């Protein structure tokens, strides 16, 4: 498809065109990458912005159930919602199930909702290699809220904070002791901690867990981008759809405060700086994948394995080879 025509269809809110564009930006083919860059540059001129909400949590905490209930609530308020779900890829086969669209059966039928599952492949940090660009495409398509669901791997899953305006951490009742609440890493990145499954027999347990984490959050160092009282811990029930409106009110209050105090724009500028550095690093690593570079890598690694060169010396020679190309 012509890139100009594809861009026009995305700007008009065409979901099928949006899906094709995400497939294009996820492709590793050199010609597709060139077309994707042209498309993204063109759409960036629209300057449309959505509220980007990153969501992380351990497997089984109910991320997909929460997103469907939360997304249905937002759609009911007249908002357009996009969901970018990242599924783990098999270390053996490289495949992914991509079952989030099946889980979110109600939301997937909504005309004002868009759900796109993507494989994480070998990318670390809980998101896919091109999730950031997929977010930009959803913004250009006119979505009001973009929900980014991570793989769900644990405390080191913080890259999603580099492409979202708000970062939600979903926890299960009695998911760990109080010490988990003061550990660094993902806890320091969270803007809101939501203790899910606060219903039935787990309701009282969820309330205690929420109180534990609320106390732990007060021990963390104050961040300049937070108004008084944030970050917060709240209880929600995705199944009973309880507490979702309160959580949404807190999200809007936080995003409004950051906009009014200049943190929104500054945060997005820093994110652009971060992703520029990532693109340069990936481009440099790609230089190792050329046939000549692979052959030289094989030769030098064999020399290092046989003791003819030290690993450091072999690495120096490889860098010299790359500089000569």
Distance, CA of 151 to CA of 63 (rounded, Å): 10
Per-residue pLDDT at 155 = 44
HSE-CB of 38 using CA atoms within 13 angstroms: 13
Distance, CA of 213 to CA of 189 (rounded, Å): 14
Token couple for 67: 């997103």
- Over residues 39-77, the pLDDT tens digits come to 999 998 888 899 999 998 877 888 889 999 999 999 999
- Choice among 131-140, 166-175, 236-245 with the minimum mean pLDDT: 166-175
Per-residue pLDDT at 102 = 66
Distance, CA of 78 to CA of 268 (rounded, Å): 26
The helix or strand, by DSSP H or E, that contains position 202, with its residue range, turns out to be none
Other C-beta atoms within 10 Å of 95: how many? 10
Other C-beta atoms within 10 Å of 13: how many? 15
For residues 168 and 149, is the Cβ–Cβ distance under 8 A? no
- Where helices occur in the chain by DSSP H, the ranges are 3-11, 15-26, 30-44, 63-76, 100-103, 105-108, 131-140, 186-189, 203-217, 244-260, 263-286, 291-305, 311-324
Q: Hey, which residues does 232 pair with through a beta bridge? A: 192
Distance, CA of 322 to CA of 319 (rounded, Å): 5
Distance, CA of 43 to CA of 48 (rounded, Å): 9
Per-residue pLDDT at 156 = 46
Phi/psi of residue 45, each to 5°? -70, -20
Answer yes or no: is pLDDT of 177 > 60: no
- Over residues 125-170, the pLDDT tens digits come to 445 568 889 999 999 999 999 999 886 555 445 677 788 999 998 9
pLDDT band at 185 (very low <50, low <70, confident <90, very high): low
Q: Which residue has the tokens 């053996």?
A: 92
Which of 196, 166, 265, 179 is CA-nearest to residue 57?
196
- Choice among 175-184, 223-232, 254-263 with the minimum mean pLDDT: 175-184
List Cβ neighbours of 102 (8 Å cut-off, separation of 6 or more): none
Per-residue pLDDT at 29 = 86
Distance, CA of 79 to CA of 203 (rounded, Å): 30
DSSP annotation of 128: -
Answer yes or no: is pLDDT of 96 > 50: no
DSSP annotation of 221: P
Token couple for 83: 């969901």
Mean pLDDT of 176-189: 57
Answer yes or no: is pLDDT of 298 > 90: yes
Distance, CA of 125 to CA of 117 (rounded, Å): 16
End-to-end C-alpha distance for the chain, whole angstroms? 35
For residues 10 and 137, is the Cβ–Cβ distance under 8 A? yes
Answer yes or no: is pLDDT of 80 > 80: yes
Distance, CA of 3 to CA of 7 (rounded, Å): 6
Residue 223 backbone class (left: φ over 0; alpha: ψ -120 to 50; beta: rest): beta
pLDDT, averaged across the chain: 85
> What pTM was computed for the model?
0.84
């Amino acid at each position: 498809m012509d890139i100009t025509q594809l861009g026009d269809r995305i700007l008009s809110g065409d979901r099928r065109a949006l899906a094709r564009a995400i497939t294009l930006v996820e492709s590793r083919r050199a010609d597709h990458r060139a077309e994707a860059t042209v498309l993204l540059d063109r759409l960036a001129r629209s300057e449309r912005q959505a509220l980007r909400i990153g969501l992380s949590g351990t497997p089984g905490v109910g991320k997909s159930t929460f997103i469907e209930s939360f997304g249905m609530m937002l759609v009911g308020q007249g908002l357009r919602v996009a969901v970018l779900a990242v599924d783990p890829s098999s270390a053996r086969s490289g495949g992914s199930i991509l079952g989030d669209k099946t889980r979110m059966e109600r939301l997937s039928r909504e005309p004002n909702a868009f759900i796109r599952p993507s494989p994480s492949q070998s990318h670390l940090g809980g998101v896919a290699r091109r999730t950031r660009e997929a977010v930009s495409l959803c913004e250009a398509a006119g979505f009001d809220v973009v929900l980014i669901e991570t793989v769900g791997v644990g405390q080191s899953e913080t890259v999603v904070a580099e492409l979202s305006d708000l970062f939600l951490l979903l926890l299960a009742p009695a998911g760990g002791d109080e010490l988990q609440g003061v550990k660094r890493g993902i806890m320091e990145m969270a803007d809101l901690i939501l203790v899910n499954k606060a219903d039935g027999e787990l309701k009282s347990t969820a309330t205690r867990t929420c109180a534990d984490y609320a106390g732990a959050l007060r021990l963390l160092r104050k961040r300049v981008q937070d108004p008084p009282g944030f970050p917060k811990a709240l209880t929600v029930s995705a199944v009973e759809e309880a507490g979702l409106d309160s959580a949404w009110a807190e999200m809007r209050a936080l995003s409004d405060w950051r906009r009014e105090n200049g943190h929104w724009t500054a945060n997005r500028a820093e994110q652009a700086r971060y992703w520029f550095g990532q693109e340069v690093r990936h481009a440099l690593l790609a230089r190792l994948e050329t046939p000549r570079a692979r052959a030289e890598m094989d030769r030098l690694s064999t020399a290092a394995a046989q003791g003819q060169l030290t690993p450091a010396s072999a690495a120096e020679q490889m860098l010299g080879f790359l500089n000569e190309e």
